[in-house]
Amino acid sequence: LIFGFAVTEALGIFALLIAFLLLFT
């Protein structure tokens, strides 16, 4: 359960990073 939550959080952070890259480029 905790591992799955960590994976979901990591995917969320990765998605935010991509969103910032798309906005600022």
Condensed to tens digits (0 to 9), the pLDDT of residues 14-25 reads 999 999 999 988
Which residue type, as a one-letter code, is found at position 12?
A: G
Report the pLDDT averaged over residues 1-25: 89
Query: Which pLDDT value is given to residue 14?
Result: 95
Rg (alpha carbons) of the chain, rounded to whole number: 11
Query: Which pLDDT value is given to residue 21?
Result: 95
Tokens 């990765």 correspond to 14
What is d(CA 10, CA 12) in angstroms, rounded to the nearest whole number? 5
What mean pLDDT is reported for the chain? Answer: 89
Give the model's confidence band at 1: pLDDT under 50 very low, under 70 low, under 90 confident, else very high: low
For the chain, what are the domain ranges? 1-25
What is d(CA 10, CA 13) in angstroms, rounded to the nearest whole number? 5
Residue 10 has pLDDT above 80, yes or no: yes
